[in-house]
Amino acid sequence: MQLEILTPEHKVFSGDVYGVQLPGVEGSFEILQNHAPMVAALGVGKMKILKDKSNTETYQINGGFVETLNNKTTVLLEGAEAVSY
Protein backbone atom coordinates (compact mmCIF):
# COMPACT_ATOMS: atom_id res chain seq x y z
CA MET A 1 0.00 0.00 0.00
CA GLN A 2 1.28 3.48 -0.86
CA LEU A 3 1.27 5.90 2.10
CA GLU A 4 1.80 9.66 2.02
CA ILE A 5 1.73 11.79 5.18
CA LEU A 6 1.74 15.59 4.87
CA THR A 7 1.64 18.59 7.22
CA PRO A 8 1.38 22.23 6.12
CA GLU A 9 5.16 22.54 6.68
CA HIS A 10 6.58 19.36 5.12
CA LYS A 11 6.17 15.78 3.90
CA VAL A 12 6.46 13.48 6.93
CA PHE A 13 6.54 10.17 5.05
CA SER A 14 6.09 8.74 1.57
CA GLY A 15 6.52 5.12 0.56
CA ASP A 16 5.18 1.57 0.46
CA VAL A 17 4.00 0.18 3.80
CA TYR A 18 2.22 -2.82 5.29
CA GLY A 19 -0.34 -0.55 7.00
CA VAL A 20 -0.98 2.42 9.28
CA GLN A 21 -2.70 2.76 12.66
CA LEU A 22 -4.47 6.07 13.29
CA PRO A 23 -6.35 7.80 16.14
CA GLY A 24 -9.83 8.54 14.79
CA VAL A 25 -12.10 11.01 16.57
CA GLU A 26 -14.22 8.07 17.80
CA GLY A 27 -11.42 5.55 18.39
CA SER A 28 -8.30 4.08 16.82
CA PHE A 29 -8.36 2.15 13.54
CA GLU A 30 -5.99 0.49 11.11
CA ILE A 31 -5.72 0.66 7.33
CA LEU A 32 -4.13 -2.26 5.45
CA GLN A 33 -3.74 -3.31 1.80
CA ASN A 34 -7.05 -3.40 -0.15
CA HIS A 35 -8.97 -1.36 2.44
CA ALA A 36 -12.36 -0.07 1.31
CA PRO A 37 -12.38 3.57 0.10
CA MET A 38 -12.95 6.00 2.97
CA VAL A 39 -12.38 9.47 4.37
CA ALA A 40 -12.12 9.96 8.15
CA ALA A 41 -11.34 12.71 10.65
CA LEU A 42 -8.39 12.16 12.97
CA GLY A 43 -8.03 13.18 16.60
CA VAL A 44 -5.04 13.80 18.84
CA GLY A 45 -2.98 10.68 19.55
CA LYS A 46 -0.35 8.31 18.22
CA MET A 47 -0.06 7.31 14.57
CA LYS A 48 1.94 4.14 13.87
CA ILE A 49 3.36 3.42 10.41
CA LEU A 50 3.74 -0.33 9.88
CA LYS A 51 6.62 -0.46 7.39
CA ASP A 52 6.43 -4.26 7.48
CA LYS A 53 5.34 -6.82 10.08
CA SER A 54 8.28 -6.00 12.40
CA ASN A 55 9.39 -2.39 11.66
CA THR A 56 7.35 0.62 12.74
CA GLU A 57 7.58 4.41 13.12
CA THR A 58 5.41 6.27 15.64
CA TYR A 59 4.31 9.91 15.58
CA GLN A 60 2.29 12.06 17.97
CA ILE A 61 -0.29 13.86 15.85
CA ASN A 62 -2.58 16.83 16.46
CA GLY A 63 -5.54 15.85 14.30
CA GLY A 64 -6.29 15.95 10.60
CA PHE A 65 -7.87 13.77 7.92
CA VAL A 66 -7.13 10.49 6.12
CA GLU A 67 -8.30 9.31 2.70
CA THR A 68 -7.76 5.85 1.27
CA LEU A 69 -8.57 4.88 -2.31
CA ASN A 70 -7.15 2.20 -4.64
CA ASN A 71 -4.37 1.13 -2.19
CA LYS A 72 -3.15 4.71 -1.74
CA THR A 73 -3.62 6.34 1.66
CA THR A 74 -3.07 10.07 2.16
CA VAL A 75 -2.89 11.52 5.67
CA LEU A 76 -3.19 15.31 6.05
CA LEU A 77 -2.15 16.46 9.53
CA GLU A 78 -2.06 19.71 11.45
CA GLY A 79 1.21 18.57 13.02
CA ALA A 80 3.31 15.44 13.62
CA GLU A 81 6.22 14.79 15.96
CA ALA A 82 8.31 11.61 15.87
CA VAL A 83 8.13 9.52 19.04
CA SER A 84 11.17 7.44 20.01
CA TYR A 85 11.12 4.58 22.49
pTM, two decimals, is 0.93
Task: Give the per-residue pLDDT at 84.
Answer: 80
Compute mean pLDDT per 10 residues along the chain, 85 residues long, and list them: 96 97 96 96 97 94 97 96 85
Task: Give the per-residue pLDDT at 23.
Answer: 98
Of 79, 84, 48, which is closest to residue 63 (Cα–Cα)?
A: 79
Task: Give the per-residue pLDDT at 85.
Answer: 66
Q: What domains does the chain contain, in order, with CATH numbers?
A: 2-83 (2.60.15.10)
Element (H, E) at 14: strand 11-16
β-strands 11-16, 80-83 pairing? unpaired
51 phi/psi in degrees, rounded to 5: -65, -40
Calculate the alpha carbon distances from 64 to 10, 53, 55 in Å.
14, 26, 24
Task: Give the per-residue pLDDT at 53.
Answer: 85
Task: Give the per-residue pLDDT at 58.
Answer: 97
